Amino acid sequence: MWVFTIEAIVNNSIFFYALLLILICLGYVLISSIELGRYMRRNNYASYRELLISRHAPCVSVISPVANIQDDVVDHVRALLALQYNNFDIIVVNDGSTDNTLQNLRDFYQLEAVDFVSYEQIKTQPVQAYYKSRNLAFSKLTVIDKARGGEPDSLNAGLNASQSDLVLCIETHCVLDKNSLLKLVKPFLEEKTRVIAVGAAVHVANSGGRHKGHLLSTSFPKKLLPAFQAIEYFKSYLLERLTWSRLNGIHPISGAVGLFDKEILTECGGYSTKTSKEGFELMVRMSKYMHDNNLKYRTVYIPDPLCWIQAPARFSALSKQKNAWARGNFQTFWLHRDLFFNRKYGSLGLINFPFLFFLEGIIPLMKLLGVLVISGLVFTGQVNREYLGLLLAMIYLFAVFLSAVSVLFEERSYRPYSSLRDISKILVLIFIAPLIYHPLTVYWKIAALVRLRQ
Amino acid sequence: MGIEFSVSNYLHDLYISRLSSHPLYIFLSLFIALFCVIGIAEVLIYIFFRRGKEFYKRKRDADLKERIITMLANILVFNDHDDPKVVVSHFLPRFSRLPLYRKSIRKILVAELSNNHANFSGRSAEVLTELYLQLNLDKRARKNLNSRQWDKQIEAIRELTEMSIKDECDKVLKFTDAKHPQLRIEAQIAFVKLCADNPFRFLDTVKEPILDWHQLILFEVITKAETMARPRFAYWLNSANDSVVSFCLKFVEYYQQFDALPNLIYLLNHYNLKIRGAAIEILGRMEAEMAESHLVAVYPHQPQKIKEKILNTLGLIASGGCLSFLTSQAKSKEFPLRLAALRAIKAHRKDGREMLDTLYNEGVLQDRAIIKHILDGRIKA
């Protein structure tokens, strides 16, 4: 009787826990499919040609922090200069590079120091010099040389120097689609409520051909780790972020590409240097600011694949990245703990923020606890192995189903990896990922939590 | 084979023989697992089936398209001096032989007709419109105007506009105030293109906002059109619809309608900051000297963003009459105002330069830095 009770409790717990997750995920699938359909139908008729040539296009500053990338920096800036938009400038912030990053920029773009005065609304590490090119072909480019302070600090220095209404913050290693600005600016112009931030889909381009900073072709990563990440990005961007965009909730704007309303961004104090996942923390802070000031707002996510990144291909690098992201999430939850169940912030405090905490913070712990308990019971023979196997099979099949749905969404929208070979490879990998990659993601989150405690 | 046999036996046993004896959670788990398996299989089949179908369609459409392009090329080069009806009646039997009851063929033909119509003018365009009408291709588009689906309505509006079918103007006008933003903008674009004698009539009735995105598109469409009546846009500057005001402000500036200057000055007191700001900027770009005193008068009561715009505008007008006012603002405690005022002083050419020299000599370290900043031609103003 005693054995039966434990078995029943364990099996029922696993089932109801899995059922809860399944219902959440089905909610994601349902809402994101509606949003994706709506977006695709609306954008079917959108023409960007008018925005491209318009004198009324809002001014955008593209801010790109660079540090110790002497070999790539010239091509990186060249790709930015080739972006298709009528009214933009580029601010490259050299974050205390110790190699020839700055020198290469100075030589290639014929830079010389100028007497630039910026309105220091956000405190940053000291700026040593501002550079502009004497060649008119590069007049859009401003280079800031400052003491090392990290990526958020560099973005803040760029914000101080920007004179535009909108700022596009990007990472060094990302390659932007040449139409990125056109597509990112559109939501700022077409929403009735004030849009404070727009994010876009990020995809993995480890196996794509590159030439002078431009992406020539995109193919699905050949190596296993980047391939798993590519599939994870499908889910993260097309299911989760699209859902939260539809519900106007917080969805982390990726550090790789995000267009912001500069006024709100600076009023909020810019990027935080206190967390290791600035995008999420910033969105929470901006949302809080809008609530505090009784301002209506929207944060928008667009599913267009506008940004291509090099995903970590080595286990140690990926582990480090995931660890930092998970740590950043927990830091953000702690920094903004006043939001939890705070009626003042409406659905943001009552549902959205606690829900994200549940997903990011509680679920990994429950998974770990589940694994420990089940292992113990299996070891001591106190569990019906057939039923346990069936429950685990259900969880596995649902994970595969979810990945398949996200691949279907990509197939019906932009097809970042369009060849038949790529899609076949993806469809094989979605069966393997839950067995290898998903346990690792849980491990990274737990490890981050442990490190945070230390 | 042996393994397959035992797996199928086990599944049969699990899902049929023992189904009623499972606890509830296992029963539900089996159901969810089955749902997932079916879902995964459907996704896989769908993706490969869709790819195959697309490949076949692409191949088939390419052949058809080539045939239709050749047929249209013949009709276009036939004789430029003949009556379009005569030309079309000559070629109509050939086009009628196309299986136009098939949606895909009709779609390709309409797309090619539209493409060619957009690229030709005069007699050739008339021939294409005549062919479109005689093949009764307009029937579906006219019917779709009454559809309940906004995307069908948009496609119909686009098709009729591209083929210059002007008799549906009144119906299109109704859609210019539609609730659906995409339908609204498509109708507004169509209306300005089709109703050449009074293309801005919809501004009198539109209650829904003309979104910034739509303003931008409409502006480009209107300013690129060669033959379009240009009304006096000041007429709409007191519209109750703020988006109509901000839309018309763009045209006041573009067509340099100086008779609208008093209306612009009136807008300096508009409750909507966006409109107020736009009016100020346009006064500057139209170098409206008469507005200087008004700008200086309203300045103290404005929020900082508007103050910045006023200072920029005074710099664009640069009559010299406000130099002392600008000098006083160059000592403001607010950095953006100080910067804007010094820029405006710089715009006063010789007088401004002298004033900047004086301020440079009198100024503290930061003022000097700002003056150096604005005098540097490499830095964007």
Burial class (CB in 10 A: 0-12, 13-18, 19+), A23: exposed
Q: Which of B84-98, B106-120, B254-268 has the lowest mean pLDDT?
A: B84-98
Q: Quick one: which of B281, B217, B214 has its CA closest to B241? A: B214
The DSSP H or E segment spanning A201 is strand A195-204
Q: What confidence score (pLDDT) does residue A454 get?
A: 66
- The Cα A332–Cα A284 span in angstroms is 8
Contact assignment for B216 to A56 by CB distance below 8 Å: yes
pTM greater than the 0.80 cutoff: yes
Q: What confidence score (pLDDT) does residue A172 get?
A: 83
What average pLDDT does chain B have? 90
CA distance B21 to chain A (A): 12
Contacts of A56 in chain B (CB under 8 A): 215-216, 219, 250
Interface test with B, best of A121, A397, A413, A415 (most B CBs within 10 A): A397
Interface test with B, best of A24, A33, A88, A117 (most B CBs within 10 A): A117
The two structure tokens encoding residue A24: 């959440």
Confirm if B368 and B360 have CB atoms less than 8 A apart: yes
The DSSP H or E segment spanning A127 is strand A127-133
Contact assignment for A41 to B32 by CB distance below 8 Å: no
Q: What is the pLDDT of residues A186-228, one digit of tens each?
A: 999 998 899 999 999 999 988 877 777 777 778 899 999 999 9
Interface test with A, best of B18, B36, B282 (most A CBs within 10 A): B36
CB atoms within 10 A of CB A274: 13
Q: Residue A404 is nearest to which of B23, B43, B336, comparing CB atoms?
A: B43
Contact assignment for A189 to B44 by CB distance below 8 Å: no
Contact assignment for A423 to B26 by CB distance below 8 Å: no
CA distance B28 to chain A (A): 9
The two structure tokens encoding residue A6: 């434990």
A141 forms bridges with which residues in the sheet? Answer: A90
Q: What is the pLDDT of residues B129-188, one digit of tens each?
A: 999 999 999 999 999 999 999 999 999 999 999 999 988 998 999 999 999 999 999 999
Contacts of B35 in chain A (CB under 8 A): 401
CA distance A150 to chain B (A): 26
Q: Which residue of B has its CA nearest to A47?
A: B217
DSSP for A59-115, written as a single string: PEEEEEEE-S-TTTHHHHHHHHHT---SSEEEEEEEES-SSSHHHHHHHHTTEEEE-
Confirm if B186 and A45 have CB atoms less than 8 A apart: yes
Contact assignment for A190 to B181 by CB distance below 8 Å: yes
Q: What is the pLDDT of residues A327-366, one digit of tens each?
A: 888 889 999 999 999 999 988 999 999 998 988 778 888 8
Q: What confidence score (pLDDT) does residue B74 get?
A: 86
Contact assignment for B370 to A117 by CB distance below 8 Å: yes
Q: Quick one: which of A162, A110, A101 has its CA closest to A131? A: A110
Contacts of B14 in chain A (CB under 8 A): 390
Q: Which residue of B has its CA nearest to A120?
A: B335
Q: What is the pLDDT of residues A267-302, one digit of tens each?
A: 999 999 888 878 889 999 999 999 999 999 999 999
Contact assignment for A427 to B372 by CB distance below 8 Å: no
Q: What confidence score (pLDDT) does residue B316 get?
A: 95
Q: Which of A196-205, B93-102, B372-381 has the lowest mean pLDDT?
A: B372-381
Contact assignment for A190 to B214 by CB distance below 8 Å: yes
Confirm if B157 and B170 have CB atoms less than 8 A apart: no
- Domains in chain A (CATH in brackets) are 2-37+342-453 (no CATH), 47-332 (3.90.550.10)
| Of A330-334, B20-24, B44-48, B368-372, highest mean pLDDT | B44-48
Contacts of A393 in chain B (CB under 8 A): 33
Contact assignment for B30 to A132 by CB distance below 8 Å: no
Whether residue A1 is predicted with pLDDT greater than 50 in this model: the reply is no
Mean pLDDT of all residues in B84-112: 87
Contacts of A54 in chain B (CB under 8 A): 216, 219-220
Q: Residue A408 is nearest to which of B23, B25, B47, comparing CB atoms?
A: B47
Contacts of A134 in chain B (CB under 8 A): 378
CB atoms within 10 A of CB A4: 10
Contacts of B32 in chain A (CB under 8 A): 19, 22, 394, 397-398
Q: Residue B211 is nearest to which of A53, A117, A190, comparing CB atoms?
A: A190
Residue A202: strand, helix, or coil = strand
CA distance B48 to chain A (A): 9
- Strand A210-211 relative to strand A166-170: parallel, antiparallel, unpaired? unpaired
Contact assignment for B29 to A391 by CB distance below 8 Å: yes
Helices (H), B120-256: 122-134, 138-144, 150-162, 169-175, 181-194, 202-205, 212-224, 242-254
Contacts of B242 in chain A (CB under 8 A): none
Q: What ipTM was assigned to the predicted interfaces of this complex? A: 0.86
pLDDT tier at A85, thresholds 50, 70, 90:
very high
Whether residue A108 is predicted with pLDDT greater than 70 in this model: the reply is yes
Q: Residue B380 is nearest to which of A15, A56, A163, comparing CB atoms?
A: A163
Contacts of A133 in chain B (CB under 8 A): 378
